[in-house]
Chain A
Amino acid sequence: MTIFIPEPHLLDSPRGRPWPAYPVPHAGIRTDEPPSTTDVVIVGAGPAGLAVASALWHLGVHDVVLLDRADRPCARFFDRIDVLRQRVLRSPYAHHPGVEGYRDCELLDFARLHWAQLTAVERREVRMAQAGHRSVVPVDVFEAYCRHVATVHGVYRRTWRASVHSVRPGAGGVSIHTEGQAVRARYAVLCTGEERRPAPPAWWRGRPAAGARPGASPDGVGYWDEPVPAGAGSVVVVGAGLTAAHLIANALEAGQQVDWVLRAARERYQCSDVNAAFFRAEGRACFDGVTWEDRLALMRRERRASIMFEFRPMLRAAEVDGRLTVHRGREVAAVMSEADRPATVLLAGGDAVTGDHVLLATGTEFTPGTRLLPDDVVNSRDGWPDLDERTLGYRRAPRVFTVGAAAGMVLGPAARNIDGHRVATARVAAAIAADLGAVAHLGGGAVLGTDADLAAADLGAGGAARGVTGV
């Protein structure tokens, strides 16, 4: 029997260490207008979008446009990591946005190429990965690797900064609408990632600060992806997952007193955020051939917040010496912040926990596509989109695909992880390449549409209506 021993040093990887200059310059992403037509639009240039673009590149699909809100690929991914001061990824080396099967440099070898930049602990982690054991990846390594993957697959010169407002499937293509512009494509792939999960509206009590934006959290309260005000002597952290653990660790390191409100009866420590079986084919097979209800039950059971084992010694020590107070098994009834009073988390049953600042580690949530696609195209059931399991295309708009958490009811609880992106990418890229191959071979869209159809893809509101009904 193997006994796993948590090793806190894994969390100490340096961030922002000197790294060798990349050998070719890049001018950043595109600032001109994106082309009006293309084969594939990828909405979102995060790790999922990067994986899809890279896979398409190897399948010979080069006419690709990535649209992203940020000024660089994977910006939100790394910004979130850095605001949490996370130094390692929970994902193992095998999970990365590069492409398998084409002799590309993969993440593990990329780390080994930079052996001189790795600490002794990180080198041991590499050896653990080579031996097939669980190991974690330094953020520095992952970030440099993402840049390499993006460069070799032409992602920078195919990415435009744009906020996508809607995706409208038509008879022969898809129109993707940004601020004042539309891009017509044969296919669209939604790689939109997950948004911050807002606290339940019933939590909010108290008076909003003068000038506060509607919906913004009141003074003294912030979400996990917002900076903690300097000078806070004590914080209250609400949440049960890895994000909460990082917030607590940062506060303790800053010398702050911490109260931790945990709905569960006790902390849940786990290597990866879902059972490792779900990163493999046998895990995904749990979803094949079982009923919808069984899939829902599996998702409820397996997608629970958990914390890397490596945090446990530090958190326990802090609780023992009184720097951390854990309120286990307590529901939040309200979050209050009013002028001249400490921020307060009111617990069900009447107890109140106060601090200089309340941090809500409420996690993220996905949408099934309804923020971009018409509801009747998404055709959601229990909050999940209606997807073709072979291609991850929307059944009612087979030229629109999704990669990420929205594929959870097809790929299981690992769909939102980088490994899930890899599996989804393989299906989506293969479906698109096969269809484009059919188009080229047959001289015009025998499978899902024709060039004429693409030219006629709906661009206006009226067109969108026609497109939806015509799907």
Chain B
Amino acid sequence: MSDAKAYDPRFSLPAVDDPASTELGVILLGLDADRLLAGLGMAALSGYSHDTATVTLLVDLAMHGVPDGRPLGAAVAAGTRRWRAARPALSAGYPGGTPSAAPRQAWAQAYRVVAAAGAGKPGSATHAYLTACWLRRNEVDRRTNAEGTS
């Protein structure tokens, strides 16, 4: 076939060259608080803390109760603990101001907040899920406060 470099889609398409972490982040922003907490917990429990996509699939597996996967409740509980542990540092490091209305820009800003707080370790999945939780912190806080899970 012909040279892929000559590809001309006739109109530009947004964010095609963005890093995978940003693309995954925009997907995470569409998840509900339970799934975000489950992902945060799953990153810690599963050994896939470096792999956001796999953690997201593991949450899908847990939501379906797949026997080989981690139980959803355990993941949410672990995520809740992780969120509560990270929350003060994220608040302290938050520079304030109005976040961008563009999801990708908002994601990049929040990703930096999490990095600056030193909360994203041990891996990219933890970092990504904490970033999503931070951007959706009102819902996540409501969920964790209502649940009272420790």
Contacts and interface: CB of A to CB of B under 8 A. Distances in A.
Q: A interface, by DSSP: helix, strand, loop or mixed?
A: helix
A64 to B, nearest CB: 14
A57 B56 CA distance: 20
A7 B27 contact: no
Interface stretch (B47-55, B93-101, B111-119, B133-141): B47-55
Contacts of A123: 16-17
Contacts, number: 87
B66 to A, nearest CB: 6
B7 A7 contact: yes
A23 B48 contact: yes
Contacts of A57: 64
Contact of B61 (A7, A12, A151, A314): A151
Q: Give the size category of A's interface with B.
A: 35 or more
A298 interface: no
Given A114-B53, A128-B13, A9 B60 contact: no
Contacts of A25: 68
Among B7, B15, B54, the most chain A Cβ lie within 10 Å of the Cβ of B7
Contacts of B51: 20
B7 A9 contact: yes
Q: Give the size category of B's interface with A.
A: 20 to 34
B66 A113 contact: no
14 contacts: A11-B1, A20-B53, A22-B57, A23-B46, A23-B69, A24-B61, A25-B68, A105-B56, A120-B4, A123-B17, A128-B13, A131-B13, A152-B61, A153-B64
B27 A112 contact: yes
A319 interface: no
Interface in A153-177: 153-154
Contacts of B40: none
A113 B53 contact: yes
A109 B1 contact: no
B146 interface: no
B66 A154 contact: yes
Contacts of B23: 112, 115
Among A104, A105, A148, A313, the most chain B Cβ lie within 10 Å of the Cβ of A105
A321 B50 CA distance: 51
A22 B58 CA distance: 9
A26 B69 CA distance: 11
B24 interface: yes
A123 B12 CA distance: 12
Among A113, A119, A121, A124, the most chain B Cβ lie within 10 Å of the Cβ of A113
Contact of B10 (A5, A20, A120): A5
B10 A9 contact: no
B102 interface: no
A316 interface: no
Closest 9 A-B residue pairs measured CB to CB? Answer: A116-B20, A127-B13, A115-B20, A115-B23, A24-B68, A152-B64, A113-B53, A123-B16, A12-B1
